[in-house]
């Protein structure tokens, strides 16, 4: 399912004194016999913020995205990508009297996010030639990485994101490019991995801006392409005296010699009134929802300011810590599916991710519960580390999965800690240890 940037929003639910264990919660990894003196609480104060996601590296994506989508909750999202190409084999000659037939950019289709129906999904794609080389893979690519390209597009093509399947090559989008551009390859003495960058530095593929400007709520979709597939390529079709039936020069987007990365942009001025209220006032507590979005969109930061009250005059062993995050069921998850799971992490000083230690254990669970309509995130190790002073109480992030957030554009609306019916809660099972 794919579908697939600091504004702070804060709201809280007050902390009440812990009660004795009055139910039999799932003990997680702790044997029942070790819980005889355990206590249980689900009233820990939670402070939640929604932040722009500014640390997404997009050059190692699984799929590459292009499209424009007007989400009725999150506003307008645009996705584009950059890619280079490299020859599948060296060409030292193009035969006698080579004649160009066509030049086509072929993209292996992998899915959509949003409404791909004919009327709601129609868009116009543009392909530009890069003016400069793309940075190498070791550079952090994201939507703020400046890349220059020639302003005149090589192609402008209308489409609905429902494409044709070709025998042996799967479903693909084919974009016919400017003939003059294609002629340069036949004019070259040869075409090899060592000289291809002098002929073509790469492509920038996007949706025409006027499409985004004209979209109304519910229109548009984001399309996913597999640039690591050998189907995705620049193809120069030509014939010569020796081969009047035609030949093909293949320049692939896959392979270690290529660079690729996604570009995302979001316009939250078109967001729902609830999200707009949150974004306009960081201290607003009248809206009881949280907003999470992939594609360098929004993530959630959580704080637990009174957590250390549990350890007043005593030490604490965390037997189990489970974050329960209900989903707003009123949203349209047919066209805008929620992430299958979520992840938790802290940020290092250099803004890189530090996944919570619970991830290495087989009991970790962050998947969406279709029956209860909620995420549950087990964070026993992390909360014990907070109690031990290894992490602060206000530095936990909830986000889309790290390995897919540079590809996916899915989003979800969650209940916050002050929701009147189904609030976000931290379920704690802990054992107090009296100190002398």
Q: What is the mean pLDDT of residues 154-162?
A: 96
Between CA 50 and CA 257 the distance in angstroms is 38
- Check: CB of residue 52 under 8 Å from CB of residue 18: no
Question: Phi/psi zone of residue 370: left (φ > 0), alpha (ψ -120 to 50 degrees), beta?
Answer: alpha
The pLDDT of residue 433 is 85
Instruction: Provide the pLDDT for residue 17.
Output: 26
Judge whether residue 22 has pLDDT over 80: no
pLDDT at 204: 97
The percentage of the chain sitting over the pLDDT mark of 70, rounded to a whole number, equals 87
Percent of the chain at pLDDT exceeding 90: 63
d(CA 40, CA 53) in angstroms, rounded, equals 34
pTM of the model: 0.86
Give the CA diameter of the chain. 96
Q: What is the mean pLDDT of residues 4-32?
A: 35
Per-residue pLDDT tens digits for 403-422? 788 888 999 999 999 999 99
Write the DSSP assignment of 329-366 as a string of letters. Answer: TTS-TTTSPPPSB-EEEEE-TTS-EEE-GGGGSTT---
Predicted pLDDT of residue 140? 56
Instruction: Assess contact for 284 and 34: CB atoms under 8 A.
Output: no
pLDDT recorded at residue 139: 54
The DSSP H or E segment spanning 199 is helix 196-199
d(CA 138, CA 146): 16
Best CA proximity match to 161, nearest among 185, 125, 131, 132: 125
Q: What is the pLDDT of residue 31?
A: 54
What is the per-residue pLDDT for 26?
A: 46
* pLDDT over 70 at 234, yes or no: yes
What mean pLDDT is reported for the chain? 86
| pLDDT value of residue 63 | 94
**pLDDT by residue (tens digit) across 285-315?**
677 999 999 998 999 999 999 999 998 888 9
Contact 45, 12 (CB under 8 A): yes
Displacement of CA 4 from its chain's centroid (Å): 6
- Rounded Cα distance between 57 and 129, Å, is 23
Question: Which pLDDT belongs to residue 15?
Answer: 24
What phi, psi does 214 have (nearest 5°)?
Answer: -90, -5
Rounded mean pLDDT of 361-370? Answer: 72
């Amino acid at each position: 399912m794919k579908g697939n940037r600091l504004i702070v929003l804060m709201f809280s639910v007050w902390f009440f004194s812990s009660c004795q264990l009055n139910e039999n919660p799932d003990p997680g990894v702790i044997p029942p016999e070790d819980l005889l003196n355990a206590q249980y609480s689900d009233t820990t104060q939670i402070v939640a913020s929604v932040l722009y996601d500014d640390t997404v590296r997009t050059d190692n994506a699984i799929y590459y995205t292009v499209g424009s989508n007007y989400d009725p909750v999150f506003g307008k999202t645009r996705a584009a990508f950059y890619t280079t190409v490299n020859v599948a084999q060296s060409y030292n000659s193009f035969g006698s009297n080579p004649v160009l037939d066509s030049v086509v950019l072929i993209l292996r289709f992998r899915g959509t996010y949003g409404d791909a129906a004919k009327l709601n999904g129609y868009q116009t794609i543009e392909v530009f030639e890069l003016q400069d080389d793309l940075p190498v893979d070791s550079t952090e690519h994201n939507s703020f990485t400046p890349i220059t390209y020639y302003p005149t597009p090589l192609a402008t093509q209308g489409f609905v994101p429902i494409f044709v399947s070709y025998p042996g090559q799967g479903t693909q989008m084919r974009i016919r490019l400017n003939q003059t551009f294609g002629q340069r390859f036949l004019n070259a003495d040869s075409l090899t991995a060592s000289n291809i960058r002098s002929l073509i530095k790469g492509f920038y593929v996007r949706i025409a801006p006027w499409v985004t400007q004209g979209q109304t709520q519910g229109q548009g979709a984001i399309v996913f392409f597999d640039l690591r597939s050998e189907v995705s390529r620049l193809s120069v079709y030509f014939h010569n005296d020796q081969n009047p039936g035609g030949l093909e020069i293949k320049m692939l987007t896959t392979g270690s010699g290529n660079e690729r990365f996604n570009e995302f942009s979001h316009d939250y001025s078109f967001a729902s009134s609830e999200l707009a209220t949150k974004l306009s006032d960081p201290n607003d507590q009248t809206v009881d929802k949280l907003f999470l979005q992939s594609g360098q969109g929004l993530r959630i930061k959580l704080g637990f300011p009174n957590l250390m009250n549990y350890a007043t005059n005593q030490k604490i062993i965390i037997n189990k810590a489970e974050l329960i995050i209900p989903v707003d069921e009123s949203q349209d998850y047919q066209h805008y599916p929620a992430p299958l799971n979520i992840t938790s992490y802290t940020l290092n000083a250099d803004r890189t991710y530090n996944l919570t230690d619970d991830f290495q254990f087989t009991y970790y669970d962050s998947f969406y519960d279709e029956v209860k309509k909620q995420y549950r995130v087990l964070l026993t190790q992390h909360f014990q580390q907070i109690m031990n002073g290894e992490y602060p109480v206000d530095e936990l992030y909830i986000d889309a999965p790290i390995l897919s957030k540079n590809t996916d554009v899915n989003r979800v609306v969650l209940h916050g800690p002050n929701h009147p019916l189904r609030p976000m809660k931290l379920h704690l099972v802990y054992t107090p240890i009296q100190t002398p």
